Copies of this chain bind each other. A is one copy, B any other.
Amino acid sequence: MTIRYPGGKKYSPRSDKLNSRLAQKKSLQYANRGMTLEEDLNETNLYYRQIGRAVIHKKPTPVQVVQVDYPKRSAAKITEAYFKQPSTTDFNGVYRGKYIDFEAKETKNKTSFPFGNIHAHQAEHMKNVQEHGGLSFLIIRFSQFEETYLYDASHFLQWYFEQSERKSIPKREIEKAGHFIPTTFRPRLDYLSILDQFYLSM
């Protein structure tokens, strides 16, 4: 007999193996205080701004506003709007005089980073940024392992445009050509130190 929750979802008892995996995941999440990659990066960037190290912000999510109400004596209220596909990457700013531009993505995939996470015009944007002398990269988190990597756009674009039939980049390639970013207390993800070490002469 199938037992169902009130919502209609099937009830299936958890196996011991799954339980232990969940416990493991929970402890890993605790290490990261359960924050998403975006939250970690926002906190990191805020810290960088506070100590005067860099000026890097997340861009607002693009929204197509269709209808706005202007009630008397209160703020304009948007009553109809839709999310738009972003035409650029999520984060940009300035560090040591350099233009910094990156996209941050989490994947639950354990063995590879699927291209589906990046739109074609975002890849195009990264290419353009590189051509104009900016520093362009991805920050990729494999959430199942709580591992975060800085992966240079030049590597990414090679896979994306030249080996696009693959539809993904193997995790081991990102481990090899990318740079592991340790999660620390403050800043949460010190990716600028990676740039110092590998991409900017001191």
- Interface, chain A (partner B; CB < 8 A): 49, 52, 54-55, 57, 59-63, 65, 75-84, 86-88, 92-101, 125, 128-129, 131-134
Bound CA span A84–B76, Å: 10
- Which of B49, B77, B86, B99 is in CB contact (< 8 Å) with A97? B99
Residues from chain B with a CB closer than 8 A to the CB of A96 are 132-133
Contact status B83-A76, CB under 8 Å: yes
Q: A94-B133, A97-B134 are in contact. Are A59 and B59 (CB under 8 A)?
A: yes
CB distance from A179 to the nearest CB of B (A): 22
Extra 17 A-B pairs, beta carbons < 8 Å, given A77-B81, A97-B132: A55-B129, A57-B87, A57-B88, A60-B84, A63-B78, A77-B82, A78-B82, A78-B83, A79-B80, A92-B93, A94-B132, A94-B134, A95-B132, A96-B132, A96-B133, A97-B98, A97-B133
Bound CA span A83–B63, Å: 11
Bound CA span A65–B60, Å: 11
